[in-house]
Amino acid sequence: MTQPQRPLFITAIGTDSGKTLVSAIVTEALQADYWKPVQSGLPRDTETVQSLVSNTVSQFHREAYLLREPLSPHASAAIDGVQIELNRIHLPITPNRLVIEGAGGILVPLNDTDFVIDLAERFAAEVILVANLYLGSINHTLLSVAELKRRAAAGKCSIKGLIFNRCPVETSEQIILRHAGLPCLLRIGNHETVTKDLVKHYAAELRGRL
């Protein structure tokens, strides 16, 4: 019996970097299942990804924690009177490849001790880091890569590569890739609207790189 492929964990250098769009593209490219373990605020990212995926194979799994306020998960959970516990977050049962979307950046806190990236480690997932390019993003990206590499060296996770999203800046990309030593899996342009056709376009480009 063949072993299922490892999950892919979509994280980013910060909030609003494009994790949900990238999650939709990766889900479409692999006809994978999608899961967001911790959702803070509405609308649910699960609904957004589902609206952008065209294939009929992908399944969309319920959140382990669905929190009301659009805040850092630890703060949103406190308002809702709950405590996020990693040992209560379990992978959905599926024979399909699984795409897991994180919340915010890699060191966004889930509680007083655990961070978003600890979910990737818990599920032995391969990490895709999404970087949007803005003034300061080189620093934020390389710091995120350094932390991921530190954890990877300790055998806690592995890194699949980088995806650049919005406003391509060639000089920024070049220096990030030179120092990160990671492959660029995809470049996403700056689009006013995101449609299923746009997701399918990028999914076709990405498919052979996963």
CB atoms within 10 A of CB 176: 23
Residue 87: strand, helix, or coil: helix
Q: What share of the chain is helix, strand, coil (3-state, %, to 5)?
A: 40, 20, 40
Angstrom distance (rounded) from CA 114 to CA 61: 22
Specify the DSSP class assigned to residue 75.
H
Place of tokens 């492929």: 5
Rounded to 10 degrees, the C-alpha dihedral 182/186/189/192 comes to: -120
Active site residues: 36
Angstrom distance (rounded) from CA 64 to CA 80: 14
User: Which is nearest to 202 in space by CA: 69, 54, 101, 43?
Assistant: 54
